[in-house]
Structure 1
């Protein structure tokens, strides 16, 4: 069930797409829950509380909305790191991208995505998609409890329990 501590981590390098997604999420009452980062490296820093996010408080995100084509570390790299981590693997990750290439879908599912959404170009379809994403992943879906960060040690190559 959704609660006030739910955080959606939006990983999107296109400022216009990030603004649109944040606006749509606000329409459904999630505006105070969206944290936006603009590349894959920032996403991993956020998740592991490194660099500019070393003082971040609060729980891990309840949902990651992940673009594929990004600088520094692409979406597949982020996905592989999340799903390969004992600390992070239970966070639902929804790929939200403009790509409908079969090879991108295959790479994303092989890397462990929970869902893959090609961004609709029609605004009303985008609204409906985001509404369904939030309803399912934050209100209906039951996720496994996250391990305590105190029990995991990040080595830079993943974490150790």
Structure 2
């Protein structure tokens, strides 16, 4: 599936506990005109519940892409990443780390756990929008993602 601004809306799971970063991410995706439905959870346990379709998320859609912060309450982003990538039914969902951490050990560990990309959040809103536009060009224009029926 190639998802783009003109195509079918994609389901994105944003795992982010900072309300300001949630707002900025939504605004950046809107400004980049990415046709999406963004689902937001604010901690690692809720992320796993959403992905495994448990509890209040038992009817949640399987996301096309996960944007995952590392510094989360209840269960950290690296633990979420490891759990998802170890689950055959979920492992093909692209997970992009979107975090303020530029620590080399976080970057290395994320790739060891099979993240698909590691992005450090820009400081300013204009830079954030530009990063999302570049992200859109790559992930939703060039990259082929599996159809929902193939996962």
TM-score, length of structure 1 as denominator length: 0.84
2:20 maps to what in 1? Answer: 16
Cα RMSD, aligned residues only: 1.8
2:114 maps to what in 1? Answer: 112
Q: Does 1:64 align with 2:44?
A: no
TM-score, length of structure 2 as denominator length: 0.89
Structure 2 unaligned spans of 5+: none
Most deviating of 101-110 and 121-130: 121-130
| Kept after mapping to 1: 8 A contact 2:10/2:35 | no
The match for 1:39 among 21, 36, 43 is: 43
| Kept after mapping to 1: 8 A contact 2:9/2:35 | no
| Kept after mapping to 1: 8 A contact 2:10/2:36 | no
Deviations 1:47-101 (A, max 9, x none): 1111111133x4x211111000001111101111111111111111110000001
Task: Report the alpha carbon displacement of residue 139 of structure 1 after superposing the two structures with TM.
Answer: 2.3
1:157 maps to what in 2? Answer: none
The match for 1:52 among 56, 77, 88 is: 56
- Please give the alpha-carbon distance, in whole angstroms, between the structure 2 residues aligned to 1:127 and 1:23: 8
For these two proteins, the number of residue pairs brought into alignment is 147
- Please give the alpha-carbon distance, in whole angstroms, between the structure 2 residues aligned to 1:69 and 1:28: 26
Deviations 1:108-130 (A, max 9, x none): 11111111111010222211111
Q: Does 1:84 align with 2:95?
A: no
Q: Residues 83 and 147 (structure 1 numbering): CA distance in 2 closer, same or farther, change over 3 Å?
A: farther
Task: Report the alpha carbon displacement of residue 145 of structure 1 after superposing the two structures with TM.
Answer: 4.9
> Which structure has the higher relative contact order (CA within 8 Å, separation 6+)?
2
